[in-house]
Amino acid sequence: MNPTEWKLSTNKGQVTIQGQKLTLFQQCKIIECCGSDDQQYLLFFYKNQFLAVQPLVKYAPKSFLGLVEKKGYHLSASHLLFSQLLPTSSTLKLTPIHQILAKIKKCRSPEETTLIFSYFDSYIPSDQLEELLKDVFFTYRRNGKLLAAFRLAKILISRGYKQNWLISTIKHPDYANVSKTYQTSLSNLLTTDPIYVEQQCFLQLPTHHNLLMTLYSEQKRPTDAIIILTNQWLQHQNDGTYSDLIQFVSTQMADREVLLFLHSLLPYATTHFGFFQDVYKRLIHKHDYKSATKLLFTYSFPLSHTETDQFSNLLEHVTLTSSDLTLEKMAKRLFPLLDKHPLIVDKFLQAALPELLNHHSLSEIHLWLQPIQTQKELPIVKKVSEMVDLMNDSDHQFNLGIHYYDLKQYEHAIDCFNWEMELNPNQIEPIQWLAKTYRKLGKLEEVETYHSLLSQIQRSS
């Protein structure tokens, strides 16, 4: 799957940026991008809404970006979810930070405004940010809105903004009564302060997993739920976490998107066979036999008896290339996978040998096949062994040539038939096979030459 790309307008011209990593931390999502100008950029989102794009800057460990890196949930590499957050090929603009803040303040509630402002603490001077946050907080206090001020403080502290002025202020006796509002369960606070509840649920996963999923459902934020479920599966790869993930993803995406989503997880799957088996079944159902075969050769997972029996039929639909048919990959996966199915191994090798011989010598392949000769001797193994014996026998090059012809190694076959024709110039079989072989190569002039030679020999005999 190609990386998600966007166009970015800067004062130096247009830059193409490609998403590399998606991180969720509480209500914020950030996509880290690499630009065609060799710069890194960050796309900021609040819940489902795109906020801004900014260049990646150096940040302190205690900054918001430091907190996101340490405590966020990450999805690395290009991912289907990137384009669900922001349509592919969208054109973005690198906007000065003061314009971003002005736009946020205009369209967001005071609580959301201050929270989002704090996301940009690596872009705003600390004294300026503190002044912006204090302005909202003390406006509430001056107007007697102690509960609103206390709620704002709880939100900022939960987000990780723990400056002394904020912590010391809410400990003032004036807030003693309103603080009791928060001395209850998170589920009871969901209606009155969903922002704070989400922050706490996020920080206390998996204890509050169900409550967080309920909140995501109510706010129609499936992407956030998928990020959480994916990370839970990545951390604990078992049937339970995978079942939770795949059931949810299947309700949010079409079958094709589900398969793309699962493909993005392949490099990170480790021990959970059920995941690989599910991907394999979906590929077979989609008739994507090429990808199914690649999956089998790349990752170690067992097949059911039915799937193993069907494996030879699968191969009939696949044209394998040299990149699929590495000797190491097949020895590691194919032979153990089909250990008790020698006829399937033989059928596969019969189909694969012509391609293998395009990249490996006959001696290399013969040596590679040695481990499986301890099983019931296969026709293809016997064929290769016989060919190796014939290679050093100048009296039987004709038979070796026929073997090469059968394996579509026409140049090697021609060498053998020419050798035989030189040894026995009056025999017609080598000439017939030379004409037949050159026809396979599409060399019609040579075909006519050997037909003429054949006619001359037949007339003189």
Q: Percent of the chain beyond pLDDT 70?
A: 96
> Based on the domain organization, do 47 and 108 belong to the same domain?
no
Which of 45, 62, 87 is the last residue in one of the domains?
Answer: 87
Average pLDDT over residues 160-188: 90
> Based on the domain organization, do 107 and 169 belong to the same domain?
yes
CA 155, CA 271: separation in Å to the nearest integer?
39
- List the single range of 177-186, 203-212, 295-304, 314-323 with lowest mean pLDDT: 314-323
Confidence tier at 2 by pLDDT (50, 70, 90): low
Most confident of 61-75, 285-299, 311-325, 378-392: 61-75
> Based on the domain organization, do 54 and 19 belong to the same domain?
yes
Q: Percent of the chain beyond pLDDT 90?
A: 64
How confident is the model at residue 461, as a pLDDT? 65
Q: Is residue 210 included in any domain, yes or no?
A: no
Q: Is residue 129 included in any domain, yes or no?
A: yes
> Based on the domain organization, do 23 and 40 belong to the same domain?
yes
pTM score:
0.79
Task: With beta carbons less than 8 A apart as the criterion, state whether 305 and 332 touch.
Answer: no
Average pLDDT over residues 238-252: 95
Q: Which long-range contacts (CB under 8 A, 24 or more apart) does 49-58 make?
A: 50/85, 50/86, 51/100, 51/104, 51/116, 51/119, 52/95, 52/100, 53/8, 53/17, 53/92, 53/93, 53/94, 53/95, 54/94, 54/97, 54/120, 54/123, 55/94, 56/32, 57/122, 57/123, 58/122
Q: Is residue 178 included in any domain, yes or no?
A: yes
Would you call the peptide bond into 206 cis, given omega within 30 degrees of 0 as the criterion? yes
Q: Residue 195, SS3?
A: helix
Task: With beta carbons less than 8 A apart as the criterion, state whether 228 and 262 touch.
Answer: no
Average pLDDT over residues 279-298: 89
Q: Is residue 301 included in any domain, yes or no?
A: no
pLDDT tens track for 89-132: 789 999 999 999 999 999 999 999 999 999 999 999 999 999 99
**Is pLDDT at 163 greater than 70 in this prediction?**
yes
* Of residues 264 and 64, more confidently modeled: 64
> Based on the domain organization, do 74 and 109 belong to the same domain?
no
Q: Is residue 126 included in any domain, yes or no?
A: yes
Confidence tier at 376 by pLDDT (50, 70, 90): low
Confidence tier at 451 by pLDDT (50, 70, 90): very high
**Is pLDDT at 374 greater than 70 in this prediction?**
no
How confident is the model at residue 375, as a pLDDT? 54
Find where tokens 């026809």 sit.
439
- What is the count of structural domains for the chain? 3
How confident is the model at residue 273, as a pLDDT? 79
How confident is the model at residue 136, as a pLDDT? 94
If you average pLDDT over every residue of the chain, what do you get?
A: 90
> Based on the domain organization, do 173 and 128 belong to the same domain?
yes
**Is pLDDT at 333 greater than 90 in this prediction?**
no
Confidence tier at 78 by pLDDT (50, 70, 90): low
Parent domain of 34 = 1-87
> Based on the domain organization, do 83 and 101 belong to the same domain?
no
**Is pLDDT at 1 greater than 50 in this prediction?**
no
Look at residues 82, 85, 161 and name the one whose alpha carbon lies nearest to residue 126. Answer: 161
> Based on the domain organization, do 71 and 114 belong to the same domain?
no
Q: Please, what is the Cα angle at 271 between 265 and 274, to 5 degrees?
A: 70
CA 259, CA 242: separation in Å to the nearest integer?
14
> Based on the domain organization, do 172 and 153 belong to the same domain?
yes
The residues near 226 (Cβ < 8 Å, ≥ 6 apart) are: 81, 245, 248, 249, 252, 261
Which of 136, 168, 183 is the last residue in one of the domains?
Answer: 183
How far, CA to CA in Å, does 97 sit from each of 23, 87, 321, 331? 21, 23, 52, 57
Q: Is residue 220 included in any domain, yes or no?
A: no
**Is pLDDT at 9 greater than 90 in this prediction?**
yes
Average pLDDT over residues 336-358: 82
> Based on the domain organization, do 42 and 61 belong to the same domain?
yes
Q: Is residue 445 classed exposed, middle or buried when 0-12, 13-18 and 19+ CB atoms within 10 A define those classes?
A: exposed
Q: Is residue 441 included in any domain, yes or no?
A: yes
Average pLDDT over residues 128-146: 94
Average pLDDT over residues 222-247: 94
Which of 29, 57, 87 is the last residue in one of the domains?
Answer: 87
How confident is the model at residue 378, as a pLDDT? 83
Q: Is residue 209 included in any domain, yes or no?
A: no
φ and ψ of 194, to 5 deg? -65, -30
